[in-house]
């Protein structure tokens, strides 16, 4: 006892003070918490001369961390261990938050529970509670090997030190929390940057896993995405490769599957206590959080973290962790979706460019001349076919006025060009062209306008074909292809702006709305295609202070989300005052002005007094009238695509640098979204163009893959096959087109797929009951693998029949000519023989007369045979039938329309209400009336030609009245005489023939005319055949 008392006295004030000062300075040092606690235990063991000092901290989930220092042990080997306090021993011991003082612990066995089970050799104990928020959160303990009575000073001192420890722990916790929050913000920001910088999804996903693992300080991370019905591991961190491959989950399977089906985040503290159905073999983790990756309402995958670590080892996740991970997941989801979209677009673009290459080679390889020019006929492109046909090279003709148009046809050509400018397409004109060496050739010509996206005619494309060549049909097919590709080329480079406009409008609305950034006005400038000029694209904001007030009043109570939704679903109106003002703005970026600087230096500018800033040009002040404004560059993938201008013209509120910094942070997202939208629209536009062209071709066009499976067809195929598209696509082409069970060796497709060369051939197909010219071109992917075939098939059945008929009639004509000669040669001698035999017969008598009669009869027989052969036996030369005179006249009016138009004559039809039916030979009567019509057209200019019909006394009366020059009185009586004409090139037969024909029909023709006052013909035809 004497020793104890002695020790008590040793505790004087100065020692206490010294210990306290030391402890306080350690507790407030910048050391890590663990080091602070280490040092405190050591100092206490040393200065208080005790055998052991321990600090136990109660961590979440009743884990207790103990740090122990013993006398005579170096600081390095401080004991740190972890025990479970399932029974809540520590808190139950300090029910009154007072120190526990025990001289000999053997009398208090339950207290031993809180001590290190290995510290059997310690007998005394002084334990002070470490209190936080009125709760015991740990213990500071001193122990000795011998029983010992602690002095009041020691108890008090330890209590004070316990407060210091508590403060140090609290500080450390706070520091850690703040640091964790900062780290989290940093990562979210990093991920945000990844949206615009990492577009390759293969890089993005591991990046997300790595970053999230760092921030949350976890052992492992798994990112799964939905592929079909499965959740596939797309990236991970801290997991072995073997696990990664074996871990596809289905909905409901495992933790991730559970998150997928419930769409809710999940936090598991101890996997050993979770339901079996969530357990996934292979992952050996204690604590898990897992959240869904969502894009809008759609779930695209899950993000899971395993075993959080802190400085003491593995710990559990908190609700805060879960919230942070949710935020992180939503940012990541957008990044993933963006990267996926980008990949799709890249693929689409690749696809489109392949098609382009394919079509381009078609143009070049075509045998037709394909020429484009501007609207004044200056040549802009000239393919190899043109070179072959006309002899000029592209260099020789580029920029020149169409050199192959002969001088005498240039007026006609300008006529054509005017029609094209009115968006007409002239098809299959047959005209004359001149080659470089002066030869005139006949060509068939199709001229069509080249339109830009706003439907303006920007040029003319002409496809001409030397029609002296035979294989017209094949060429026609190839021509179709080229027309298609030309159109496609021109249109695909022009971008439509509809969806982009919506996006831009949203961006500017966010910038100006009170919920958003709250600027008064925002104007978006985009770089034009040349990259040299910034053009105002759109503006959002009021035009005047009054309007500003009205707008802000009307916006009150409406959320930013609601307004954005309105823009998304409704049409975009680009006609506000500021829009119009903005669209007039254009700035050359090579000048020296604030906008150019913003672009060159890629940083925002905050102009507080625009009049005092030399870089603000008078042009901008005059146009936009703001005294202060900010400009922020829009940068996508290191490329400047435009700038955003903001000002507070109406409120005059100063723009803070932070506002601009914020806008700057936001701008890379906007920029990449704009780029994406542009890219997407280009691709979408090109695709729809291609589809339109594809569908509107009248020939059958379809694609098959290398296995003869039909992949796409156009409407012409659907019409010909007579089945809906769904029943054709996916079937084998030989089955659909030829009704066969295997590829048909006669089909050009078979040949082209064997040779892998384009092949054009004619095919008679009994299955489709017709003849087709089929053009097959194999398609290759970028690695030159054969992937399928494009088919263009034209039904030439009718053409072929026509061709056969022409050949037939040509043959007959040749035969007929021969027959005529033979007939003439034979008939004349026969006539002599027969004629003189008749004379003999008359003069002779008896037997000899009989002989002459025999000769006469035989010759007559021969003559009749000749007549029959030569077709003289046709009973009637007039083929009469019931004809509707009004219909027939309408036909004639249509037929003569070009001649009438040429001389600017109008034709007026005044037909009887009821049809007039007469029995006539329509071909003959048409010929008769046509002659009068043509005379009228030639005699009249800028006048009218009236056609009237009526029934009068059982006769059809046709009147043809012109306002032309009329007929002189002395000529009037001669007009029906053959070979009478007043025209220099007339045959004088027209009206004579008319007269004859009408006479043959038992009709009459009458004419009245005044020289200089027009002519009226009246034709009377009996209605009934007499």
Residues found near another protein in the complex (CB under 8 A): 820, 823-824, 827-839, 856, 859-860, 863, 867, 870-872, 877, 927, 974, 977-980, 989, 992-993, 996-997
Distance CA 775, CA 697 (A): 14
Residue whose CB is less far from another protein, 755 or 857: 857
DSSP-derived secondary structure for 646-673:
EE-TTT-PPPPHHHHHHHHHHHHHHHHH
Nearest-10 Cα torsion for 351, 352, 357, 359: 120
DSSP-derived secondary structure letter, 819: H
For the record, the structure tokens of 354 come out as 């392949």
Instruction: Go through 402-436 and write b for each residue having 16 or more CB atoms within 10 A of its CB, e for each that does not.
Output: bbbbeeebeeebeebbeebeeeeebeeeeeebbee
Smallest distance from another protein to CB 813, Å: 12
Kindly tell me which of 26 and 997 has the beta carbon lying closer to another protein: 997
Answer whether 141's CB lies under 8 Å from 154's CB. Answer: no
Q: For 785, list phi and psi in degrees, rounded to 5.
A: -85, 140
Smallest gap, in angstroms, from Cβ of residue 978 to another protein? 3
Q: Is 129 left (phi over 0), alpha (psi -120 to 50) or beta?
A: beta
CB of 831 to another protein, least distance (A): 5
- Cβ 971 to another protein shortest distance, Å: 13
Nearer to another protein, 174 or 822 (CB): 822
Are the C-beta atoms of residues 663 and 511 closer than 8 Å to each other?
A: yes
Q: Which is nearer to another protein, 52 or 924 (CB)?
A: 924
Residue 1025's nearest CA partner among 959, 955, 949, 957 is 955
Query: Please, which residue, 346 or 830, has the CB nearer to another protein?
Result: 830
Q: How far is the CB of 1003 from another protein (least distance, A)?
A: 15
Q: Which is nearer to another protein, 259 or 992 (CB)?
A: 992
CB-wise, 351 or 863, nearer to another protein? 863
- Asked if residues 54 and 29 have their Cβ atoms less than 8 Å apart, the reply is no
Which helix (DSSP H) or strand (DSSP E) does residue 523 occupy? strand 521-527
Compute φ and ψ for 656, nearest 5 degrees: -90, 150
Work out whether strand 944-952 and strand 906-910 pair parallel, antiparallel, or are unpaired. parallel
| Minimum distance of another protein from residue 996's CB (angstroms) | 5
- Report the residue number, 570 or 871, with the smaller CB distance to another protein: 871
Choice between 112 and 827, CB closer to another protein: 827
Q: By C-beta, is 440 or 818 nearer to another protein?
A: 818
Closer residue to another protein, CB minimum distance, 729 or 833: 833
Q: Which is nearer to another protein, 944 or 982 (CB)?
A: 982
Q: Write down the least CB distance from residue 820 to another protein, Å.
A: 4
Q: What spatial distance separates the first Cα and last Cα of the chain, rounded to whole Å?
A: 164
Between CA 252 and CA 258 the distance in angstroms is 4
DSSP conformation letters of 713-731: E-HHHHHHHTS-HHHHTTS
Q: Are 338 and 196 in contact (CB under 8 A)?
A: no
What is the C-alpha to C-alpha distance for residues 457 and 765, in angstroms, rounded to an integer? 42
Output 192 or 986, the one with its CB closest to another protein.
Answer: 986
d(CA 548, CA 202): 48
Strand partners, 292: 302
Minimum CB distance to another protein, residue 926 (Å): 13
Whole-number minimum distance, CB 812 to another protein, in Å?
14
Instruction: Give the closest residue to 142 by CA, choosing from 91, 219, 68.
Output: 68
Burial 790-819 (b: 16+ CB within 10 A, else e): bbbbbbbeeebeeeeeeeeeeeeeeeeeee
Q: Shortest gap between Cβ of 916 and another protein (angstroms)?
A: 26
CA 9 to chain centre: 91
Helix 498-512 × helix 560-569 angle, to 10°: 170
Write out the DSSP string of 79-94. Answer: EEEEEE-TT-HHHHHT
Rounded to whole angstroms, the Cα distance separating 164 from 301 reads 47
In order of 60, 176, 217, 515, 926, the CA distances from 317 in angstroms are 10, 14, 11, 34, 99
* Residues 6 or more apart whose Cβ sits within 8 Å of residue 516: 509, 510, 560
CB of 983 to another protein, least distance (A): 15
Rg (alpha carbons) of the chain, rounded to whole number: 50
Q: Minimum CB separation from another protein for residue 927, in Å?
A: 8
- Measured from the CB atom, the residue of 825 and 894 that comes closer to another protein is 825
DSSP state of 401: B
Taking the complex as a whole, how short is the minimal distance between the CB of residue 873 and another protein, in angstroms? 10
The distance of closest approach from Cβ of residue 956 to another protein in the complex, given in angstroms and rounded to an integer, is: 22
Least spacing, CB of residue 975 vs another protein, in Å: 12
CB of 877 to another protein, least distance (A): 6
Bridge partners of 951, per DSSP, are 956
* Shortest reach from residue 1005's CB to another protein, in Å: 14
Residue closer to another protein, measured from CB, 277 or 828: 828
For another protein, which is the closer residue by CB, 327 or 974?
974
User: Which of residues 94 and 976 has its CB atom nearest to another protein in the complex?
Assistant: 976
How far is 267 from 244, CA to CA, in rounded Å? 22
The least CB distance from residue 872 to another protein, in Å, is: 6
Residue 789: strand pairing partners: 704, 778
Cβ proximity to another protein, 396 vs 1000, nearer residue? 1000
């Amino acid at each position: 006892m004497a020793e104890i008392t002695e020790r008590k006295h040793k505790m004087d004030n100065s020692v206490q003070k010294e210990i306290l000062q030391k402890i306080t300075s350690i507790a407030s040092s910048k050391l890590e918490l663990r080091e602070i606690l280490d040092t405190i235990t050591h100092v206490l063991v040393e200065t208080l001369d005790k055998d052991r000092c321990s600090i136990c901290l109660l961590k979440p989930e009743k884990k207790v961390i103990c740090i122990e220092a013993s006398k005579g042990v170096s600081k390095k080997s401080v004991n740190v261990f972890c025990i479970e306090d399932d029974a809540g021993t520590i808190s139950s011991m300090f029910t009154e938050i007072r120190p526990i003082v025990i001289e000999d612990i053997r009398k208090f066995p339950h207290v031993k529970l809180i001590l290190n089970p290995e510290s059997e050799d310690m007998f005394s104990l002084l334990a002070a509670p470490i209190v936080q928020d009125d709760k015991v959160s740990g213990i500071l303990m001193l122990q000795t090997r011998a029983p010992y009575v602690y002095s009041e000073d020691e108890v008090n001192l330890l209590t004070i030190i316990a407060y210091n420890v508590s403060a140090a722990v609290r500080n450390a916790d706070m520091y850690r929390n703040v640091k964790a929050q900062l780290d989290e913000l940093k990562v979210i920001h990093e991920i945000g940057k990844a949206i615009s910088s990492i577009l390759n999804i293969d890089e993005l996903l591991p990046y997300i896993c790595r970053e999230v693992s760092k921030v949350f300080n976890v052992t492992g991370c798994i990112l799964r995405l939905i592929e079909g019905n499965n959740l596939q591991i797309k990236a991970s961190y801290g997991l072995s490769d073997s696990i990664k491959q074996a871990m596809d989950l289905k909905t409901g399977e495992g933790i991730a599957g559970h998150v997928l089906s419930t769409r809710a985040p999940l936090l598991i503290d101890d996997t050993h206590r979770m339901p079996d159905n969530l357990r996934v073999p292979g992952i050996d983790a204690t604590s898990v959080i897992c959240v869904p990756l969502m894009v809008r309402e759609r779930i695209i995958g899950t993000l899971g973290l395993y075993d959080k670590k802190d400085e003491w080892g593995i710990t559990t996740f908190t609700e805060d962790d879960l919230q942070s991970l949710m935020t992180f997941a939503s940012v990541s989801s957008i990044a993933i979706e963006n990267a996926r979209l980008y990949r799709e677009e890249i693929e689409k673009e690749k696809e489109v460019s392949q098609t382009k290459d394919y079509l381009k080679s078609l143009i070049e390889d075509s045998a037709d001349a394909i020429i484009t020019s501007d609207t004044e006929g200056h040549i802009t492109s000239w393919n190899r076919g043109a070179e072959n046909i006309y002899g000029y090279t592209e260099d020789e003709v580029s920029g020149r006025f169409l050199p192959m148009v002969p001088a005498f046809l240039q007026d006609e050509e300008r006529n054509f060009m005017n029609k094209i400018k009115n968006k007409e397409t002239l098809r299959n004109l047959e005209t004359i062209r001149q080659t470089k060496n002066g030869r005139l050739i006949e060509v068939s010509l199709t001229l069509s306008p080249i339109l830009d996206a706003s439907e303006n005619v920007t040029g003319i494309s002409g496809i001409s074909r030397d029609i002296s060549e035979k294989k017209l049909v094949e060429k026609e097919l190839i021509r179709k292809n080229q027309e298609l590709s030309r159109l496609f080329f021109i249109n695909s480079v022009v971008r439509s702006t509809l969806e982009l406009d919506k996006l831009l409008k949203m961006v500017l609305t966010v910038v100006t709305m009170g919920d958003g950034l709250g600027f008064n006005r925002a104007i978006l400038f985009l770089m034009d295609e040349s990259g040299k000029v910034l053009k105002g694209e759109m503006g959002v904001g009021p035009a005047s202070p009054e309007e500003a007030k009205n707008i802000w009043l009307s916006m009150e109570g409406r959320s930013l989300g609601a307004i954005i939704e309105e823009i998304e679903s409704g049409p975009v109106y680009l006609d506000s005052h500021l829009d119009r003002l903005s669209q007039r703005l254009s700035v050359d970026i090579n000048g020296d002005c604030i906008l150019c600087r913003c672009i060159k230096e890629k940083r925002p500018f905050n102009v507080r007094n625009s009049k005092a800033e030399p870089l603000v040009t008078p042009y901008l002040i005059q146009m936009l009238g703001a005294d202060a404004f900010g400009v922020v560059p829009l940068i996508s993938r290191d490329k400047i695509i435009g700038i955003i201008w903001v000002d507070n013209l109406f409120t005059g509120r100063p723009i803070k640098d932070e506002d601009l910094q914020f806008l700057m942070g936001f701008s890379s997202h906007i920029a990449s979204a704009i780029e994406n939208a542009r890219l997407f629209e280009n691709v979408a536009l090109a695709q729809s163009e291609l589809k339109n062209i594809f569908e509107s071709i009248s020939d059958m066009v379809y694609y098959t893959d290398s296995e003869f499976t039909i992949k796409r067809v156009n409407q012409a195929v659907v019409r010909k096959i007579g089945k809906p598209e769904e029943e054709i696509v996916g079937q084998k082409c030989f089955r659909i087109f030829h009704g066969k069970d295997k590829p048909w060796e006669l089909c050009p497709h078979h040949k082209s797929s064997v040779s892998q060369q384009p092949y054009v051939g004619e095919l008679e197909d009994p299955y489709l009951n017709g003849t087709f010219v089929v053009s097959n071109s194999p398609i290759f992917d970028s690695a030159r693998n054969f992937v399928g075939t494009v088919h263009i098939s034209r039904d030439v059945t009718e053409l072929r029949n026509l061709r056969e008929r022409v050949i037939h009639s040509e043959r007959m004509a040749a035969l007929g000519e021969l027959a005529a000669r033979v007939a003439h040669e034979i008939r004349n001698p026969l006539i002599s023989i027969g004629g003189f035999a008749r004379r003999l017969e008359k003069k002779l008598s008896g037997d000899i007369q009989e002989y002459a009669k025999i000769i006469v009869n035989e010759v007559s027989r021969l003559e009749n045979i000749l007549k029959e052969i030569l077709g003289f036996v046709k009973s009637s030369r007039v083929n009469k039938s019931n004809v509707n005179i009004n219909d027939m006249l309408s036909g004639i009016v249509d037929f003569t329309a070009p001649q009438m138009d040429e001389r600017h004559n109008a034709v007026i039809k005044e037909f009887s209400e009821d049809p007039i039916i007469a029995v006539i030979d329509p071909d003959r009567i048409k010929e008769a009336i046509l002659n009068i019509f043509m005379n009228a057209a030639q005699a009249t200019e800028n006048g009218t030609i009236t056609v009237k019909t009526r029934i009068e006394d059982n006769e059809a009366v046709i009147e043809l009245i012109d306002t032309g020059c009329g007929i002189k009185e002395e000529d009037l009586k001669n007009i029906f005489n053959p070979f009478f004409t007043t025209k220099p090139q007339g045959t004088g037969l027209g009206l004579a023939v008319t007269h004859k024909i009408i006479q043959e029909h038992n009709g009459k023709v009458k004419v009245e005319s005044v020289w200089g006052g027009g002519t009226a013909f009246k034709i009377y035809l009996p209605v009934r055949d007499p």
